[in-house]
Amino acid sequence: MRRRLYFLVPDLATAETIIDELLLARIEARHMHVVAREGTPLGDLPEADLRQKSDLIESAERGLAVGGVTGVLAGLTAVTFPPAGVVVGGGLVAGTTLAGAGFGAWAASMIGIRLPNREIRAYEDAIDAGQLLLMVDVPAADEQRIAAMVRSHHPEVNIGDTEPHKPAFP
């Protein structure tokens, strides 16, 4: 289980130093993501992609659940009150559940891809002012150690809340 740490960093040089320290602390580069104001050159820093910047994954999960429930209800309704002259079976419930879940996940992800990540929204003003948001996914056992290391080496860095890491599929 990984947890995501949020560091609000004042400038590019500090972000590069923190990333180097995290690499030495055995945090892989693929677990670090930087969000900056549009047009800010990040150089070699690992820029956050669409999965980290948007509400895509969370929206797809909600759509999957709502669509699946809707499909089950539609299938049960069709089995309970079949159209005149049509024989329906249990396979219909499974089919409408899968169709509803698939459609719900797709439709919700199309909406979620346009919404900023709910955690990043809290930092938008600071990012617009030129600061960088460094998101680091660390093992839950190392969360306190990594936060303390960054706090002791860089007192100018604002350490935000943590959240459970939800990996994107696959």
Give, in order, the Cα–Cα distances in Å from 26 to each of 152, 157, 158: 18, 20, 22
Identify each DSSP E strand in the chain by its residue range. 2-9, 32-35, 132-139, 158-164
Tokens 């996914």 label which residue? 137
Domains in the chain (CATH in brackets) are: 2-49+117-164 (3.30.70.120), 56-112 (no CATH)
According to DSSP, the β-strands at 32-35 and 132-139 are antiparallel
Residue among 148, 56, 63 nearest 105 (CA): 63
Query: What order of strands is seen across the sheet that includes strand 132-139?
Result: 32-35, 132-139, 2-9, 158-164
Q: Do 28 and 85 meet the contact criterion of CB atoms below 8 Å apart?
A: no
The residue with tokens 């500090």 is: 14
**Strand pairing partners for 133?**
8, 35
pLDDT in 10s for each residue of the chain, 170 residues: 788 888 888 888 888 888 888 888 888 888 888 888 887 777 888 888 777 777 888 888 999 999 999 999 998 888 888 877 777 777 888 999 999 999 999 999 888 888 877 778 788 888 888 888 888 888 888 888 888 888 888 888 877 766 655 555 44
Q: Is the pTM of this model over 0.85?
A: no
Contact, 60 vs 50, CB < 8 A? no
For tokens 């690992």, the residue is 46
